[in-house]
Amino acid sequence: MREVRSVITENVVNLMQDFDVVHSVDLSKEEPAFKSEVVYTRLFGKGEHNIYQFVDEELEEIDHRILRSEARRVIASFHGLRMNTDAIRFKEYKKTGAFLPVTSFTGADSVRQVMSEDAEFPSSKAKLIGHQGWKVVDLTSNKRVHLSELLSKIPEKTYNDLHEVVEALEV
């Protein structure tokens, strides 16, 4: 069965190339099946559905994939919950080579700002990671991480409020 699927896939790719059809992919997950003059990417990210925000390294990888494509025209469309922020940050990176921060703060204050938007309490560590982990915070002025990276280090317990979470992160 796998062999048949491989032949079908190969035939579809050949047909697309023959008729100059653009292979639309999510460059955060994969590269186009063939080189083309046009790259069209819909960027959802590695989260569930469109619940995702990109860290700097992921945006850099998307840019490397664009450059490797050697396409003359690139259309990138962000489709995550933070698509506006991600698109602005990517555009600034392309323009200046540097990424904009995602919050006005760093460290625990960045976590506080991001989680204060919609975190629900009381909440277990697992629930916090599931609902908040996809978000990006500014660890330092030059380093952004997914909140899950920080939340995975806090003790297993039920947190009654944001202050408890931030306190656990500062230890």
- Residue range 109-123, pLDDT digits in tens: 999 999 999 999 999
Q: Against a cut of 0.75, is the pTM above it?
A: yes
Residue 105 has pLDDT above 70, yes or no: yes
Phi, psi of 83 (to 5 degrees): -60, -35
Query: What element of type H or E holds 7?
Result: helix 2-18
Which residues are CB-neighbours of 45 under 8 A, at least 6 positions away? 26, 28, 52, 53, 54, 58, 80
pLDDT band at 11 (very low <50, low <70, confident <90, very high): confident
Task: Note the pLDDT of residue 167.
Answer: 97
